[in-house]
Chains A and B, each alone.
Chain A
Amino acid sequence: MPDRRTPGAPRRLRAPGFALAIPAWVWLIAFFVVPIGTIAWFSFGYKPGLFGTHANDVLSLDRYREAFSPTFFTTFTNTLRIGITGTLICLLIGLPAAYWMAVKAPPQRRGLLLALVMVPYWTNFLVRTIGWQVILAPHGWVSGLLQRLQFIDEPLAVLNTRTAVLIGVVYNYLPLMILPLFVAFDRVGEPLREASKDLGANRWRTFVQVTLPLARPGIIAGTALVFIPLMGDYVTATVLGGAKGNMVGQLVASQFQTAQNWALGSAMAMVLILVIAATVVVIALLLWLVSLPLRSRQRLVLEEVA
């Protein structure tokens, strides 16, 4: 909010106000900006000999070239595919669920429903993923049940495939999609929907033209909250994917932990950040383009009140 105080009034809060952000600045620069900067610096170096991890006396872009070699490139595209499909599936599953929780479920139960969505988060990520390992196991009871019901002829062959990774990431990140969507739908509020119905719109039209556009910030927040960690995920892929479900996160980690090639690992990390940023920008542009015709049609110019 702009400063509306009368010119003569003392501006006592000014200086300490800005000072309040200084601790956070210092902390984040010391433990985020500097380390990431170091990684960026390493990415232009190379691995000297068998026992060194990185050296920067000769600078080049060779590590980036290496990071885009065919094997690595396949993993990158694989990760991007899992990232985009996973996010879309989360959106498709989460949207109706969040709409139900925020709009259709009895108001006094909404808090409880929301808590229920968050509870899985308090059980460790890994332990939940291991739960899926039990469910999807080829000789587990789900496999047995499906076989007995004649849905499948052979033991379930999902574990250690890309499908398993997809199930795992959708499961792990779904609450992050539902939460902002819930908030967004909740904020649209009953009165606006009723007004739309009073003005002659049916349920579907109210949903598409009133509720959904107003919930757009939630959709964007949810998509970002799911997509970004999903792209960097490597634990789910390690537990459920076996050798086939490789993701970039695993590559980066292995360069630092086993191959001890920090220069190459750094370059991969940089590429990962750039790919994520680029994808986010592209998706934002697409959303904006899609909303353009809708917005121009619904544009309403209000005359300014003096």
Chain B
Amino acid sequence: MTPPTAAPASDAPPRNPQPRSWTDRLLAVWGVLVLAFLFAPIVVVVIYSFNEGRLLIAWDHFGFGSYTGLLDRPEIRHSVLVSLQVAVLSALVATLLGTTAGVALARRPGRWVVLFLGLLLLISVTPEIVDAVSLLPWMVYLGQDAGLVIFNNGLVRLVVGHSLFSTAVVAYLVRARLVGLDESLEEASADLYALPWRTFRQITVPLAMPAVLAGFLLSFTLSLDNTIVSAFVQVSGSTPWPVYVLSSLRSGLRPEIAAMSTIMLLLTLLALTLMAIVLRRAGDSATDIARNIGG
């Protein structure tokens, strides 16, 4: 991997010397069309959140009823809150486990690495539905037969379920980041008599930081969107947002769901903007983050 500072500088000077050809224009049109495709249903949901009808799908007339209606529906707010809590916790767990594993993978190679990468690969190719059906009996067993009461807690179950795939993702990202960087800094630190823990905290972790942040963000997103595992392991009383939406699908979707989605969309856009500003301050462009995500 090239050092992050090199990328933006080298891109700037040439600025397409020849006029844009028709293939370039076609590509640009295609790119914009793809973005439009990606945003089409979201735009529809935002528009339909102002639907005053009883059902989301059947447009009646314009109004803010669904937004005020949110106030009398504590279960919607509660489910979003559960989702956010689980997303933060599971992203923390995944980041912690994944970062330590990623550092070990990159810096302590050995025969165990093959085995561990095999396990990570297995986790990433296992479809979510299989995770879901296998976790359900296991959680029930742990909570009821083995007497570990903590696994009867809905939040704990969700955090565990969401953390598995994310741990693998974070470990990949951190490993990819560190493999691309020379170990000399850590060696220098050790030569200067830093204790291993100090080297880890002050050299290795800052070096891996972009990957760690990208991993946290990705884990948070994946958890927030997780429907399948959640639907299986959830305990009533701590229903996360996607499962709430799934269950209300059967009884007919009401516009309140679109309203809540619109609010969440606005909040995430706000968070993204904030993060972009913070990251720009830290001197790491979005492209670099993407580079890290791709390993």
Contact = CB atoms under 8 A, between A and B. Distances in A.
B10 A191 contact: yes
Contacts of A111: 276, 285-287, 290
Contact of A36 (B134, B160, B245): B134
B185 to A, nearest CB: 12
Contacts of B286: 110-112, 114-115
A56 to B, nearest CB: 12
Interface string B234-258: 0000000110011001000100011
B8 A31 contact: no
A235 B45 contact: no
Interface in A57-74: none
Contacts of B8: 107
A239 B27 CA distance: 33
A22 B117 CA distance: 14
Contact of B41 (A12, A119, A132, A184): A132
Contacts, number: 298
A120 B42 contact: yes
* Interface size range on A against B: 35 or more
B44 A232 contact: no
A125 B100 contact: no
B110 A18 contact: yes
Contacts of A28: 119, 123, 164, 167-168
Given A35-B138, A128-B42, A234-B129, A134 B57 contact: yes
A18 B109 CA distance: 9
Contacts of A224: 125
A91 interface: no
Instruction: Give the one of B24, B129, B290 with max A CB within 10 A.
Output: B129
B227 interface: yes
Contact of A20 (B56, B103, B129, B269): B103
Interface stretch (A146-154, A272-280, A287-295, A296-304): A272-280
A202 to B, nearest CB: 11
A174 B37 CA distance: 10
Contact of B290 (A31, A182, A203, A229): A182
Contacts of B285: 111
Given A124-B242, A231-B127, 20 more contacts: A12-B190, A12-B196, A14-B108, A17-B108, A18-B104, A20-B100, A28-B164, A96-B27, A124-B224, A130-B41, A130-B45, A131-B42, A131-B45, A133-B57, A134-B41, A134-B48, A186-B291, A232-B128, A256-B136, A272-B130
Interface of A: 1-2, 5, 12-14, 16-21, 23-25, 27-28, 31-36, 38-39, 42, 93-94, 96-97, 99-101, 104-105, 107, 110-135, 137, 171, 174-175, 178-180, 182-184, 186-187, 189-191, 194, 203, 218, 221, 224, 228-229, 231-235, 238-239, 249, 252-253, 256, 262, 265-266, 269, 272-273, 276-277, 280
Interface of B: 8, 10-12, 14, 21, 23-24, 27-28, 30-31, 34-35, 37-45, 48, 56-57, 93, 96-98, 100-101, 103-105, 107-110, 112, 116, 119, 122-138, 160-161, 163-164, 167-168, 171, 179, 182-183, 186-187, 190, 196-197, 199-200, 221, 224-225, 227-228, 232, 241-242, 245-246, 249, 253, 257-258, 261, 264-265, 268-269, 272, 276, 285-287, 290-291, 293-295
16 contacts: A20-B100, A21-B104, A96-B31, A104-B24, A107-B8, A117-B35, A118-B221, A125-B225, A180-B294, A183-B290, A189-B10, A190-B10, A234-B228, A239-B249, A269-B130, A273-B127
